[in-house]
Structure 1
Amino acid sequence: MAHHPNLDAELRAGVEQVAQMPGIDFASLTYEALAEHRAQLNAMMAAAPRPLTEVSIEDRLVPGPAGAPDVRVRVYRPAEPGANRPALYWIHGGGMIIGKPEMDDEMIVRYVERLGLVAVSVDYRLAPEHPHPAPVEDCYAGLAWTAKNAAELGIDPARLAVGGASAGGGLAAATVLLARDRGGPDLAFQLLICPMLDDRNVTPSSRAFADAVVWPRSANLYGWKALLGDLAGTDDVSPYAAPSRATDLSGLPPAFVDVGELEVFRDECIDYAQRLAQAGVSTEFHLFPGAFHGFDMMVPDAELSRRARAAREAALKRAFGI
């Protein structure tokens, strides 16, 4: 595949190395192949070494949405006992169709170690077996449990943030909208990393990256179709499925939004960050030049990747007052 001329040189070198390794081909997504893709991801996670850490990692089953199964959450806590810690409620990515909390263990452990926070990561149901609203309702149920059990978890309820990456970033934005519209839980911050926000796929960037390094246009169309079925791209899509559909962004917690220059989500993220600011929501936005979707995960040692991680961590520190 020919790379975009704007691709960061260090990321380009990393991509060429990673290209020699087995991975999931997002460009080949089909309903028939989805089970194989999931199995491949699960095998990769099973083979990955467990993070070397003293952070406590515990899985729990918590009440799900009304009439739905319980939801698994993964709770990460510092080794030292403590109370009134800041908390990050995390939602993993995977295009609405793959993934589980374990895929982000290393990143979440790093936040817990460096910031002294408690993290709760939700294992929401996946499309297409579980279309909207199942994923976001699972995310909201896990958030409600986290807030309700803040004292037991050692969490300061006034310092509870919601975050996610990619599809998880879109679900984080949607969960924050639900929390506002349902009267709680109160949230201190939203951390939206390259979020998947708009099912319409009509922006210039949504059309430009048919051959993206990660998550090309075809995969994005597939993910939204899995979540929304025939409603995808129509006028009947809820903002709790596609937050770009929300017309009122006022009253939301302060936000951090970032995205790469060379990815499908670029323009919808720019628009969402701008509309958050216009609605009176204090918003920090980063457009990383020469970067593709998930660049910091694929090439973690690149200077741009280090800058991205530092910016997110600094934003959480400011939000939590630490």
Structure 2
Amino acid sequence: MGGNTPFADLDPDRILHAVESLGLRCDGRVLALNSYENRVYRIGMEDGPARVAKFYRPGRWTDEAIGEEHAFSAELRAADLSVVPPLVLDGQTLHHFEGHRFALFEMRGGHAPELGRRDVLTHLGRVLGRMHAVGAARGFRHRDVIGIESHGEDPVHYLLEEGWLPPELEDNFERLAEALFDAMDDCYERAGETVMLRLHGDCHPGNILWRDDQAHFVDLDDCLAGPAVQDLWMLAGRREDSRDPWRWLLEGYETFRAFDRRQLHLVEPLRTLRLLHHNAWIARRWHDPAFPVAFPWFEAPRHWESVITQMQEQLAALQEPPPDPD
């Protein structure tokens, strides 16, 4: 549960010096923005609008993997999709300063979309259909591929091996995890062979800014390869009230790209993988002082009891038919 503390030397002076090393002139204002994985700041500029500086977590991605994120966002922008690609400065998008890697972005405003509205979900479906058409044009070489092993088995092994579960819950957790893996395997079999494409990867409402009746997608830090449904399910809500949202999303999506309905068998497996991966993500980052502050309940037995309850609910959901938007 230990490790070197990341970003420990990233004080306001170093942040400003890093930005100004690119020939820019800051006005001294630095405002930390909400981000746990990386460190993200609003930087006031003497000439022109404020910029956003994202400092990448040390050791998480290779330069090549970050380069693929940047290239993908530039491809999407070139296709007239509203994403926020990194700025090109001195011919580069990824910059290095005193052991830190960072990129600069335009500042964009907006609010989360209202997912209960048909016009909003149809619009989001259209945008994702266009995004996936770009994503299918070529593949990633250095980014992750979402799957049961990488986002389920590895996180479970980590949590058990590092002793995060209260001892009295370990056996139950391990048995439930094995049952979930078997049930997810069955769902993947029912889905059949699935086309993997480049995705946003973390397409929840907090990563979508809604402004002027348009969706503006931000933060491709988690872009990866996977099935198209990975970018859709978090916008459709829970099973009990998702029929209309799925229909509206796919109405827009299929304006630009066909959607294989068999992928709906993957909705609950992907929800399960997010649950497991998210808990392991917090555990792996616990040495970062920002995480105990943000997630003070994480070490409490009550949290792990809640996780087991959610795993039981997911095991039941994996046995049920997939969403039926038709």
**TM above 0.5:** no
Higher helix content, 1 or 2: 2
TM-score (norm 1): 0.26
Provide TM-score, normalisation by structure 2. Answer: 0.26
